[in-house]
Amino acid sequence: MPSAGILIIGNEILSGKVADLNSTFLCRELRALGVDVGQISVIPDRVEVIATEVRLLSQKFDYVFTTGGVGPTHDDVTMEGVARAFGVALEEHPAFRAYFEKLLVQTGGTYNESYHKMSMLPAKSELIDTNDFLFPLVSKGNVFIFPGIPKLLYKKFEAVRERVRGVPILLRRVYLTRYESEIAHHLNELLEKFPELELGSYPRTEDEAHKVLVTLESRDAKYLQRALDDLLARLPTEFVLRTE
């Protein structure tokens, strides 16, 4: 199945000034598409750090998703970092410039140094139309370069869904009324019988009736159902609050 690495770029994330919403969104959406996220890295706005991390992730995973650092200010250096990762130069992309110039005609603005900076892309980058009024999504090799603003990322992600789709992972949930210490041996035995199952156990404290959420995941619907049936057969009826 396709694999992915996520690279969150920004000093504001590392300093706690801004909460990272993008990695949560990407993990959720990619998993629903059947893409296995193997790593999330959070790094500062430093060209060499970006270059090193992009190079490593692009070699390790089928796809890389970067967020942040694509604006006109001094700390927007993601494009330069990606260019270095692939050993290419930054070049003004004619189509990107044309896109900005068309936008500026509508707004009455002028193509200035800020827009020029945002038009400088790694050589031979691909522009992916996102059907919105802003700029296209940029990709270089197997790296998709997203803006850091969550609303923009969410919208632009729609343009790459079908490019990265694998076999979706199916999920079943079992809500239990007992603590992990009382059901751990059942989970261990379940995994021995179903070694390909992705099994999660998550204690809860905010709901008095619901002590633990157990999740079962697989790309094989029949395998998943057999594992669920086996788990429910192992657990005393009073242990199970509900299944979803």
Could you read off the pLDDT of 112-127 as tens digits, one per residue? 999 999 999 999 999 9
Output DSSP code: residue 125: P
Q: Who wins on pLDDT, 11 or 135?
A: 11
Q: pLDDT tens digits, residue range 173-213?
A: 999 999 999 999 999 999 999 999 999 999 987 777 889 99
Phi-psi region of 10 (alpha: psi -120 to 50; beta: other; left: phi over 0): left
Average pLDDT over residues 71-82: 95
- The answer, yes or no, to whether residue 23 has pLDDT greater than 70, is yes
Amino acid code (one letter) for 14: L
Q: What is the mean pLDDT of the chain?
A: 94
Give all domains of the chain, ordered by start, each with its CATH number.
3-164 (3.40.980.10), 170-243 (3.30.70.2860)
Starting at the edge strand found earlier in the chain, the sheet holding 240-243 runs 198-203, 212-218, 170-176, 240-243
Residue 39, Cβ density class (10 Å: 0-12 exposed, 13-18 middle, ≥19 buried): middle
Q: pTM of the full predicted structure? A: 0.90
